[in-house]
Amino acid sequence: MAAAAGCADTEGLSSSGDLGEVHAPLTLWGDVRPSPAPSEETRGQPRTVPGVRAKPGGSMRDVDPLAVVRADVADAARRDGGTGRLVDPRAVRRLARCTAEPDGGPGCPVRPPVFHDLTEDGKAELITAVDIDGRQSELRVYTVRPDGSVAQVLSRHGVLEGVEVAAEHLAVREPTSNPRLVAITDYEWNRKAGVMELTAVTVDECPGPEDSTTPCAPGGT
C-alpha cells in the first residue's frame, strides 16, 4: 500500500568521488538479548473480547462498538497488570468519561466506528481508536468469529497521523523524528492466523498540503 521514498542502490554502497574507506558496521552489545514477552502479553495475536458477542455468522455491525472497546481495554489492563504492554493505562481512565449515550457523549475518547470488510468474507470488521492525550492513541480492529465471539485482531499504540484501508490491507501513517519523513506500517489479513499481520514498515517523504489531505503532523515522534 505504500512504498519507501527514494531509490536504493541495489549494488550496495557506491562511490561518488573519493568517499574514503568503507567500514563494516560494528555490532554493539551483541551478547545482550531482551527476554521474550510472556505469551499472554504479546501483541499480534487474536484475542477474544470477554463479555460481548454477536449472533453466529454475524458481523461487527451487530455489536455496540463502545461496549466492545470498554470490554477489550478493561481485559487488556487486567492481563498486563498496568504495565502498558497491552494497553496504555491512561486509556482506562479516559474511557471512564464515556456516558450511556450511543456515541459515548462529548467527553468520550473513542473515535467514531468505521466498518470495513478487512477479511473479505462479506462481513464488516470494526476499526476504531481510543485517543489518549490529544496525540497518542490506541488503534483497535475487531472481527466476529463464526461462533459469534468477538476477537481483537489488531492492537497498536501510536501517533495516528493517518489510517487507510483497502480490501484486506490497513496502513498506519506515523510521524518520525525527522519532520520530512513519515513511517508507514502495513497490515494484511492472515486467514490462517486469524489476525491482521504486519507485512511491511516503510519510510516515505512527507507530502505537502498541496499534494495530500494528510500531510505530516508537526512535532515528530
pLDDT in tens, 117-155: 999 999 999 999 999 998 999 999 999 999 999 999 999
- Let me know if residue 103 belongs to a domain: yes
Domain range for 57 is 45-205
| Beta-bridge partner residues of 116 | 125
- Let me know if residue 35 belongs to a domain: no
Question: Rounded distance, CA 176 to CA 99, Å?
Answer: 35
Asked whether 141 and 158 are in contact (CB, 8 A), the reply is no
- Let me know if residue 24 belongs to a domain: no
- Let me know if residue 63 belongs to a domain: yes
Question: Rounded distance, CA 36 to CA 88, Å?
Answer: 20
Question: Rounded distance, CA 93 to CA 9, Å?
Answer: 49
Q: In this predicted structure, what is the pLDDT of residue 21?
A: 73
- Let me know if residue 215 belongs to a domain: no
Question: Rounded distance, CA 75 to CA 184, Å?
Answer: 29
- Let me know if residue 25 belongs to a domain: no
- Let me know if residue 8 belongs to a domain: no
pTM: 0.81
Q: In this predicted structure, what is the pLDDT of residue 149?
A: 97
- Let me know if residue 221 belongs to a domain: no
Assess whether pLDDT exceeds 60 at residue 51: yes
Q: pLDDT tens digits for 56-107?
A: 999 999 999 999 999 999 999 999 898 888 899 999 999 999 998 888 999 9
**Could you give the number of structural domains in the chain?**
1
What average pLDDT does this structure show over 173-182?
94
Q: For 66-220, list the strands marked E by DSSP.
A: 114-116, 125-131, 137-144, 149-158, 162-166, 169-175, 181-190, 195-205
